[in-house]
Each structure stands twice: as C-alpha cells, then as structure tokens.
Amino acid sequence: MYQDHEFGWDDVIQQDSTEPIVLEPGDYIFTVDKFERARYTPGPSSKLSACNMAKITLKITTDKGEATVVNNLYLHSSTEGLLSAFFSAIGQKRKGEPLKMNWNNVVGARGAVKIKNRTYKDNLYNEVDRFYPSDSSYYADKETPTIVQQLGQPVAQPNYQQTVPQQPTYPQQPMQNQPQTGFNQAPQQPGNYTPGAF
C-alpha cells in the first residue's frame, strides 16, 4: 500500500499534477475527508471577531473522479446556525435539541450538500451553498429532498471495467486412490497391515 513519505533531493518522481474537478452546481452526497483545527484572524473590514475555525474537507465521488470542497466553519455565536446545519447534515444534531459538538466523530461522516461555483482570480472553485439536514423531522411540513433520501443507500462506486482472466480448462482426470499419510507417520505400504497396530 502506498504511504505518504519524504522525498530525497535526488529521488525520481512520476505522478503528474492533476486539475481539480469543478462540480456542476447541484446536490451531492459527501464524506468528510479531513478536519483541521485553526484560528480565524479578522481583517480590517471583517464583521466577525477572532474565533476558532474548523477547516472541513469534503470528498464527493463523481463519474470524473473525486472532487474536494473545503469549507470553513467559524465557532462563533453569529454563525451558530451554520454549525448546526453542518452537524445536522452528518446526523449528530436533531431538530430543536442542543448538541455538544463532537469533532472526533466528524471525519468519515456522510451527508448531503448543495454545491455552487465561485470565481476567484479567473479560476472557478467549488463552494458549499448549504447543508441538508439528515434528520427527517426537519422536513415535517415538506417533502424530504431526494439527495437526503439517497443517504441511506450504499455509496455508488466508480464504474471501472474489470477484466477477469480466463481460467484454462483441463480435462478432468479420475482421482487415484492414494493411501493416506498421517502427521509424522510414514506412508502405509501395501501388505504391511497389522490389526490393532497404530
């Protein structure tokens, strides 16, 4: 299995750089791939004061490969609704109930999200538009979105064509009746049978 490792100055490299996958705006199922603790430092025109920040990397499997979406969650009272939306999407928070945020159970969690595109310096990026709560009580007065209904189904695997090598066919030979050899026991010789001997 390939593991991350340090390169030496004269090592050989091979893997080419890959372009990030830009998703079509729409609804997707995600898996939380990574979570990092960070600190938000406000700029001169920022409306949000300094606070803890969670950097969440979402992995979304598509026909083109795996896309990543990075989303920052600010641990601040003014963004409490956004925190609740994330934790309700991954099934930790239920509607109307308080929740002690459990960051240890974030990586590997699945949920549903609406993705939009953002342009920055002439480049197009994936961005979270909103998280969909996985708790059906959020949709008591309306239909549960299709993407949320799909959460309970197995994750679709990429459609790779796999070739199975053909096994050669041999003509079957009748099995010959061979004397049995026990553990640490010499093979039986025909005509040397003594009743009661072991």
CA 78 to chain centre: 30
User: Do the Cβ atoms of 84 and 93 come closer than 8 Å?
Assistant: yes
CA distance 21 to 68: 8
Residue-level pLDDT at 175: 45
Q: Mind listing the pLDDT tens digit for each residue in 94-111?
A: 999 999 999 999 999 999
Question: Hey, which bits of the chain come out as E strands?
Answer: 26-40, 51-62, 65-75, 110-120, 123-132
Q: Tell me which of 13-22, 37-46, 107-116 is least confident.
A: 13-22
Structure tokens at 171: 């003509």
Average model confidence (pLDDT) across the chain: 81
Comparing CA positions, the residue from 28, 23, 50, 27 lying closest to residue 39 is: 50
Can you name the residues that pair with 72 across neighbouring β-strands? 55
Domains located in the chain, CATH noted: 26-142 (2.40.50)
Positive or negative torsion for Cα 144, 146, 148, 153: positive
Decide which of 198 and 72 is more confident. 72
Q: 3-state DSSP call for residue 98? A: coil
* Mean of pLDDT values over 20-26: 91
Structure tokens at 162: 């796999």
Q: What is the dihedral of CA 70, 72, 73, 79, to 10 degrees?
A: -120
For the question of whether the overall pTM of this predicted structure is more than 0.85, the answer is: no
Q: Where are the alpha helices (DSSP H) in 30-163?
A: 80-89, 146-149
Whether pLDDT at 138 is above 50: yes
Structure tokens at 67: 């896309």
CA–CA distances in Å: residue 21 to residues 55, 119, 133, 157: 19, 14, 25, 17
CA distance 76 to 53: 9
* Mean of pLDDT values over 117-140: 90
